[in-house]
A and B are shown apart, each in its own frame.
Chain A
């Protein structure tokens, strides 16, 4: 895994990888060097997840009209 690839991961993919990685580490039996590498990867993945959660501003709403997707008019409060 490279840094570049992790920056583009969806939340789901990043979380799934993080979960897998923690499970592998918990099972042990990994060479030390691999453990350290996975630890570093895990830190990057956790940061990616947190960034995605933190940076999501407001939900994008589209209307599927006759001529494709358009912005949905803001609902009246």
Chain B
């Protein structure tokens, strides 16, 4: 028998008529869980209705959606009234929802709560096992799909904030039945590699089913066992997964994780400038203080101390000579002589060392500050005038007939004051 072909449009139109003429499909009451929920800009709602083994597409037009008494979201258990028909352009059959009511939490949420309680009891969420993140990681490991939006966002943000870091992408499946195992393998591999110093584990937004691998026990334990600190970055701000509770830090999104794991180049440049400024300020202050100290101690260190040491040595030497003169030469002369010679030698060495130390210290300090050497000033013709060892700075301190000591660069003169005149 000869058959004439029909068009696709004709077939879909025929199917649509079949669906709509079916008594059972024209008015159904369905118990289901909401999944893949999307709100279209015009107010239409698109989602899937599912149970443990099966799902069906659903649409609720803006007019019907306006009558909703709750804001449906993924995982919600619902009761739905409507009809089933075919959308001709795609040939897809779906539930056209006219009424929908909340029927309590979905099973996945119950499973989530059960696992969360179990792992919490096992100590996986304890605050004291959260590790600090490295401040400046040289390499950041990213465990996610190498083709998703998450990896693109992370690369872009780290590239902008901290291009000093290297990014190592450890590819993993992030949805579906094999995802959990794939994520666990990637975490272990990153730990075996030890190239990255911190790990971002996550994916972009999706339905609760899409994010489910991050609620798996195996992933939770892999994060717990990771020697590298882990930042979780699953879905959107409002999505919470088990991985978020186990991770050392939860980032609201993959982009957020990128912001957290690396510092900001601009902020760091400011910090370095601030430190350089402090360095300058503190050093200037130190030099200023040293200069003041030097100014105030020039006379004692440079002039007095070596001389005082010499005077003391002189006294001791005279003392020893006197005692030597008093002893009986026939008895201990030889041994005394030796003792005196030894003392003289030790004294001489000590004086030399003291003078050298004072001079060295002065040289150091003066060298740093480029101060004018007072001895050099004296060499130009200036003199230091003293009476009874004290420096004379004003004519008020001398009177006629006083004996004064005038020290020049290469020696001293003992002088007697003839008269005193104060400048007008």
Please report which residues of chain B, range 247-275, place their CB below 8 angstroms from some CB of chain A when the two chains form the complex. Answer: 265, 268-269, 271-273, 275
Interface size on B, residues (CB 8 A): 42
The answer to whether B170 touches A18 (Cβ under 8 A) is no
Distance, CA A66 to CA B273, complexed state (A): 44
The answer to whether A59 touches B166 (Cβ under 8 A) is yes
Distance, CA A71 to CA B50, complexed state (A): 41
The answer to whether B272 touches A50 (Cβ under 8 A) is yes
The answer to whether A61 touches B169 (Cβ under 8 A) is yes
- What total count of A-B pairs have CB within 8 Å? 116
The answer to whether B282 touches A22 (Cβ under 8 A) is yes
User: Which of chain B's residues have a CB closer than 8 A to the CB of A46?
Assistant: 272-273, 275-276, 279
The answer to whether B364 touches A63 (Cβ under 8 A) is no
Q: Assess whether A53 is interfacial by the CB under 8 Å rule.
A: yes
Helix, strand, loop or mixed for chain B's interface? helix
The answer to whether B165 touches A64 (Cβ under 8 A) is no
Distance, CA A43 to CA B278, complexed state (A): 11
Q: Assess whether B108 is interfacial by the CB under 8 Å rule.
A: no
User: Which of chain A's residues have a CB closer than 8 A to the CB of B155?
Assistant: 59, 61, 72, 75
Distance, CA A57 to CA B190, complexed state (A): 25
Which A-chain residue is minimally distant from B153 (CB atoms)? Answer: A75
Q: Assess whether B152 is interfacial by the CB under 8 Å rule.
A: yes
Please report which residues of chain B, range 160-189, place their CB below 8 angstroms from some CB of chain A when the two chains form the complex. Answer: 162-171, 189
The answer to whether A58 touches B159 (Cβ under 8 A) is yes
The answer to whether A58 touches B169 (Cβ under 8 A) is no
User: Which of chain B's residues have a CB closer than 8 A to the CB of A21?
Assistant: 279
Distance, CA A11 to CA B151, complexed state (A): 25
Which A-chain residue is minimally distant from B291 (CB atoms)? Answer: A32
The answer to whether B268 touches A15 (Cβ under 8 A) is yes
The answer to whether A43 touches B279 (Cβ under 8 A) is yes
Which B-chain residue is minimally distant from A25 (CB atoms)? Answer: B282
Helix, strand, loop or mixed for chain A's interface? helix
The answer to whether A15 touches B271 (Cβ under 8 A) is yes
Q: Assess whether A4 is interfacial by the CB under 8 Å rule.
A: no
Which A-chain residue is minimally distant from B152 (CB atoms)? Answer: A75
User: Which of chain A's residues have a CB closer than 8 A to the CB of B151?
Assistant: 75
Interface size on A, residues (CB 8 A): 38
Which B-chain residue is minimally distant from A30 (CB atoms)? Answer: B286
User: Which of chain B's residues have a CB closer than 8 A to the CB of A52?
Assistant: 164
Q: Which of A25, A36, A57, A75 has the most CB of B within 10 A?
A: A75
The answer to whether B136 touches A12 (Cβ under 8 A) is yes
Which A-chain residue is minimally distant from B293 (CB atoms)? Answer: A32
Which B-chain residue is minimally distant from A61 (CB atoms)? Answer: B167
The answer to whether B163 touches A59 (Cβ under 8 A) is yes
User: Which of chain A's residues have a CB closer than 8 A to the CB of B365?
Assistant: 32
Distance, CA A28 to CA B282, complexed state (A): 9
The answer to whether A35 touches B286 (Cβ under 8 A) is yes
- Interchain nearest-CB distance for A17 vs B (Å): 10
Q: Which of A42, A49, A64, A69 has the most CB of B within 10 A?
A: A64
Distance, CA A52 to CA B290, complexed state (A): 35
Which A-chain residue is minimally distant from B186 (CB atoms)? Answer: A64
Q: Assess whether B383 is interfacial by the CB under 8 Å rule.
A: no
Which B-chain residue is minimally distant from A36 (CB atoms)? Answer: B368
- Interchain nearest-CB distance for B200 vs A (Å): 13
User: Which of chain B's residues have a CB closer than 8 A to the CB of A22?
Assistant: 275, 278-279, 282
Which A-chain residue is minimally distant from B189 (CB atoms)? Answer: A64
User: Which of chain B's residues have a CB closer than 8 A to the CB of A33?
Assistant: 364, 368
Return the contact of B146 from the options A11, A39, A58, A63 (Cβ within 8 A): A63
22 A-B residue pairings within 8 Å (CB atoms): A11-B136, A15-B136, A18-B276, A25-B282, A32-B286, A32-B287, A33-B368, A35-B287, A36-B287, A39-B279, A46-B272, A49-B268, A49-B272, A50-B269, A56-B163, A57-B163, A58-B159, A58-B163, A63-B146, A63-B169, A64-B171, A72-B155
The 10 A-B residue pairs with the shortest CB-CB distance in the complex, in nearest-first order: A59-B159, A12-B136, A46-B276, A56-B163, A75-B152, A39-B283, A42-B279, A49-B272, A59-B163, A25-B282
